[in-house]
Structure 1
Amino acid sequence: MWFAAFEAWAVQKLVRSPLFNQAIHKVYRKVNGLPPIEPQNGGGRTGPSALDHFKDEVKDQLKVMFWQQKPKK
């Protein structure tokens, strides 16, 4: 009885440990051939971020809004 309670407590502590989770993520990325998550590698991203897409879209919309000819009345 006590051993089962201790085992459950130990497993819970291990699963919630940041170091354990980092190790699991590292192994997962290595097994699946994904780039490591590091700042010099863009945090593991392989392309532009959603923020980059958003900035480009806003720039394009502002160009159209300010550079188009206004309709004659």
Structure 2
Amino acid sequence: MNGNTNFKAGDRVRLISMTDDPDPIPAGTTGIVVGVYPQRDWLQLDVDWDNGRSLMLSIPPDRVERIDSAPKPQQGE
């Protein structure tokens, strides 16, 4: 599972790819993990996305990365 079992509720994540959803979250979207449900050989993450959607991920095939919880300042600020 590529070390993806160490996600926990409250983690900030950025979507890398979501290939099997008919209405996918756009790559690069960030959100917060609200639930983690380990399965036998995959992981289900319940994410509240910053764009207002709530959608579960199935890892694999979906891919996310953990990011810093503090927002980074925009260039020029």
TM-score (norm 1): 0.21
Give the helix-richer structure, 1 or 2.
1
Greater RCO (CA < 8 Å, at least 6 residues apart): 2
TM-score (norm 2): 0.20
Determine which structure has more spread, i.e. the larger CA radius of gyration.
Answer: 1
